[in-house]
Structure 1
């Protein structure tokens, strides 16, 4: 199973990117970042005043209700993308014949719990393997 970057969004700005778009995405563990955000965050990390400012307040503290509402769908899209990555990683592990029990141990849950969370959506009904 290939874990694809098609249809992904930047986890930081919410812009769609990946192959076939003008916005390359990089990353892993569910988080994806575009070149524009890398440039922005690099500039912040290299600027002592920006670092000091980032330590004083969270961005949402200065945002209006309208701005916070506008960001909410992006937060949910990023969360859904991370859930999709989790499903893809579990599917990858199952294709490598890693047992539900081992996946469950890794996640700190029972074999049944991990199977209920991931197998029904992936179509993997191998409950004991």
Structure 2
């Protein structure tokens, strides 16, 4: 199973990107970042005044209530993207014959708990493998 970038969004600005769009995304472990955000963060990191300003307050401290409310759907979309990525990762592990016991062990849960969380969505009904 190949994990694809199609339909992903930038975990920082919420812009949809990936193949078939004009927005390049890079990243891993579920988080994706577009090249525009990389450029913006690079500019901040290499400008002492901007870096100092960013360190003084968190982004949400500078946002209006309207901006905070408008950002909530982006936060949830990013979280859902990460949950979907975890599902894809488990599917890939199962395709490589990694047992539910091993998946549960690394997640700190029982084999059954791992299976209940992930198998029903992937169609893998093998509770004992």
Q: Same fold (TM over 0.5)?
A: yes
Matches within 5 A, 1:16-95: 16-95=16-95
Q: Secondary structure at the match of 1:33?
A: strand
Q: How many residues get paired?
A: 129
Using the alignment, how far apart are the partners of 2:105 and 2:46 within structure 1? Answer: 41
Within 1, Cα distance between the matches of 2:14 and 2:62? Answer: 20
| Unaligned segments of structure 1, at least 5 residues | none
Alignment RMSD (CA, Å): 0.6
CA distance in 2 between partners of 1:99 and 1:45 (Å)? 43
In 2: Cα distance, 1:78 partner to 1:72 partner = 10
Per-residue CA distance 1:13-55 (angstroms, 9 max, x = gap):
0000000000011110000011100000000110111111111
Return the TM-score normalized by structure 1.
Answer: 0.98
Hey, which bits of structure 1, 4+ residues long, moved more than 4 A?
A: none
* Structure-1 residue corresponding to 2:99: 99
Q: Distance in 1 between matches of 2:39 and 2:82?
A: 23
Give, in whole Å, the separation in 1 of the partners of 2:32 and 2:83.
Answer: 13
- What are the superposed Cα offsets for residues 97-119 of structure 1, whole Å, 9 maximum, x if unpaired? 00000001001111011111000
> Could you tell me the TM-score, scaled by structure 2's length?
0.98
Q: Please, which runs of 5 or more residues in structure 2 have no aligned partner?
A: none
